[in-house]
Amino acid sequence: MARQSIPIESLSQLLLQLLKWFLAHSHGPRFITQKLAGAIILALIKFPESVYSIWPYPVHDVVVSIAINTPTIGTKEPLNDDAFQRVVQSLSAHDLIIILLFCTTFAEEISRADVPRHSRPPLYELLLDSTAHALAVIKPIITNTPSTITSADSFHPILVSVLKSFHSWTLSCVSADANAPVVSTLAELVPPVTEFLQIESDTTVYTTVTDVLIDFMEWADKLLTPQSMKILLNLFSGPYAASKVEKIVSKNEADDEDITEAFLNTFIFFGELVAKDIAANLRRPETRRLIELILSLLKVPGYPIEDENVSRRTLEFWDLFVESILFDDDGTLLEDANDTQLADAQCIMMEVIESLWTKLRVPDSSTAVRWTQDTRDGFFAFRKDVADLIESSYQLVQIRLYSVLVEFVVRSISVSPIDWPGVEASLYALNAITQSLTTDPPEFEVFKMLLDSNLFSLLPSSPLLRARQTSLSLIASAIPYFQSESGRKYIPSVVPYLFKCLASPSLALHASRSILQLCSECAAALTDDVPGFLNIYRDMLEHGGAIDGLAKERIAGAIAQVLQQGVDDLQQRTTYLGDLVSILAAYAEDAARVANDPAGESEARDIAASVLKSLAMVGKACREVEDFDDTNNLSTRDNHWNTNGASGRIVKDKILTIVIAISRIPSFAGDITIRQNATGVLKAGLCESSPGPFTWAPAVIVGYIRDEIVSVGRLGTLQPVFALAARLVASYSSSQTLDIRDSCVQLLEVLYTGALVPNNATTENSDPDVDQGMLDVLGSYLPRYLDVIFASLYFQPLILQFAVTMVTAKEPLVVKSAVKFWYDLLNLSPDSQSPGLDDAVRQVIDITGPPLMSAVGSAISGAAARSLVPEYAKLIKAFFRTNSGRAQQWLTASLQIESCPPHKARARRIFVEKVARLRGRPPTETVVKDFWIAERGQTFDYV
């Protein structure tokens, strides 16, 4: 390599020339001087092994070179300390700045992340050894106290340079060896650096000092001595910090904004650093003062994010404070915490939360309208962070906080005018606590105060929309209480409020989510309300055009949850279900009517999709309960849902009629959205083990699939139909389920003749979505119905042509589906299969093995994209694990070893032998990848 071929003499001459240029341009633009310093260090980084032999004292030589204005490289005997110090003292201010720039660049460049690992040890050693010379320049300047400075204009630029150099040099030494003696020497200079915080007349000096302190706090155990920590604690708990905090809280515009920001960063960072020590010594005077100052920062006026960002900055400290009080270093909850300490900490956190509570209050409309989206997002992100703090600190403040918040709400709604922003902030905090409560907590006794008040009768008339939104979230969080015996009596007072909120488009989603959860968990307490629910739902569909469709769908699911879990009588349940389905049928008729007008096609599609999604929600509710409903025996349920003329069968047929009618509306027949939602309804009962309103016979599902493929067509949107077909077969793949072999035969014919043939699957013009869907269906046949495929008239075109060809398709997702099909087939376990199926597997492999391995061999010989090589390796592993001897023959034949040039034939033969020896073990993938790389040549894409 070039780096090794440069003689030491040449490298020395290079460094000498670079140093000469560095001196020559030292009075020019600063960025040029810095670039030249970087070039010198880069030469050292490139040739680290020659560092000590060429330039053992770089800082010493640069100082001397600048002092005598002559470049000097490779000094073997450096000046003694006194002589070197005299040289430093003789330098001008400009010379010192140039030397410090070199030191800063030296430290920063060798610590860069992109420095080669092998270069670091000698460079770090050179850095540590050069620290004495660097300190000879840095220390005299840093130890100048601010009171001794006579000319700020001349001294401040040097001070900024020395602080930056000290900063970079120290951190680089810590990176090199945090335990090196020079690190301790450097750490002793932190106290005098701290004194420069007195210089507020120069923003650059002040912000540079704070940058040094903050970065050193990251390495506090190495860089902050006990003396330094004591100085910082006294500084940040004393009059200086109190004065700065007072200016921040009062928003004193006379204070420099950059200085205020720099102080705030340093102050809070120090607080976080000593949070554990603060928690352990709450009654120590300086600790108490520091807490009071950090707490004072929460009193900054204005809304978080928009008018002030101070409150947000303190949250991390309070998180650490709570964690230090409650947990040990291993994150284990402390069981022997001091009672006095806990009491003090509880009082502190109650005061913190009280201050943060004022920041939770949402702005009035005149203020909110001025906010940008970013401001709004930032404010609500802050609220979430506060909620997280309240939740994490609740183990400390406990029910005391819960009581205070509830009492505030009850007190506020009893006077006029009502403080709705305060009520909403309290409800928001209560929700953060309530959603984390354990079973039957004492807080629920306090929560009853809210329910006994007139809160939910007043909320509908509140001008603050956010108050209603937050109350809906609180109700959802309190559902465990409504499930309890004492909470059930409050459900009738809460449910009307929830349904009132449905009328507001802005609240419908929140309300519907709470209603769905309440109906799901407290169904038995709501059965008497079903007729009212149905009336509200009918009115919602007829007149709630602006309400989000998801809200409508949730209400349908909520009503179904109550029916299935709360109504024990099967006939009564069916009657209610019939009413619900009739409401949806009427809504579907609206879709058909609106669709007749071309201008209403989009609205019609939305209505139709909402009907189908609602039916799917109802089906999910029915499915969840029917499996556990033991009130009627299986025979009774079968007659009820499947006998012609039975009330259950009538409802069931009406559901199917709605699905088919919507699917056949001419303006969007074959529409992919409609197909997705229609098939979602039909899938709802496929996993059922007992009869129900959504458990249609396999022949019904096959009939729908046939109509969609043959009558409607539109191959490009058939993915949902293929997914339905795969789910149908998979639902009956277990030997404990009904054998649907006849339906599988019909399904195979429909899919082949209606989709695969028209799609021209084995040509480049085929639709990859159709190909992938068909492969997924074939895969669903494997566990139980592979013999159906094998015995089919379409075995040869389906398997020998289609499934094999798709292994080398152009579309990667199709290839992955094809590989999965073959992989699953090869791994079918004979022990768990019937003898007939086991025989079918063997016959399929006998017939397809050679052409399939031929396709794989072509792919791994370089034709495949790189991303697909692991897929082919997976297939090879399966072949060699299950059919090792024949797989070796097939792979050898596919690679055409006999017709290859000798060198390639040898490589291919070795590859086959390696794969055969591995017999499908994990290293096979690496072997295949290496073979593909060797074979691909220049004619294949390297993707």
Residue with tokens 């603050």: 464
State pLDDT tens for residues 551-605: 999 999 999 999 999 898 999 999 999 999 999 999 999 999 999 888 888 999 9
Tell me which of 55-64, 318-327, 624-633 is least confident.
Answer: 624-633
Residue-wise pLDDT for 756-806, tens only, equals: 888 876 666 788 999 999 999 999 998 888 888 888 888 888 887 899 999
Q: Are 612 and 674 in contact (CB under 8 A)?
A: yes
- The answer to whether the beta carbons of residues 783 and 731 sit under 8 Å apart is no
Q: Phi-psi region for residue 74, left (φ > 0), alpha (ψ -120 to 50) or beta? A: left
Mean pLDDT, rounded, for 727-737: 90
pLDDT digits over 231-245, tens only?
999 999 999 999 999
Q: Across the chain, what does the average pLDDT equal?
A: 89
Residue 389 Cα distances to 311, 312, 315, 381, 386, angstroms: 13, 11, 8, 13, 5
Write the DSSP assignment of 815-876 as a string of letters: HHHHHHHHHHHHT--GGGS-HHHHHHHHHHHHHHHHHHHHHHHHIIIIIS-GGGHHHHHHHH
What are the E-state strand segments in 347-414?
none
Q: How confident is the model at residue 830 (pLDDT cuts 50, 70, 90)?
A: low
Q: Position of tokens 């902030």?
A: 425
DSSP at 460:
G
Q: Could you report the per-residue pLDDT of 176-227, keeping only the tens digit for each?
A: 999 999 999 999 999 999 999 988 888 999 999 999 999 999 999 999 999 9
- Answer for the pair 97, 77: CB distance below 8 angstroms, yes or no: no
User: Do 670 and 713 meet the contact criterion of CB atoms below 8 Å apart?
Assistant: yes
**Identity at 358, one-letter amino acid code:** T
**Residue 711 DSSP one-character state:** I
| pLDDT score for 730 | 93
Cβ neighbours for 313, distance < 8 A, ≥ 6 positions apart? 264, 265, 268, 297
Whole-model pTM?
0.79
Provide, rounded to the nearest whole percent, the portion of the chain with pLDDT above 70. 94
pLDDT digits (tens, 9 = 90+) for 156-171: 899 999 999 999 999 9
The overall longest dimension of the chain from CA atoms, in Å, is 113
> pLDDT digit string (tens) for 815-828?
999 999 999 988 88
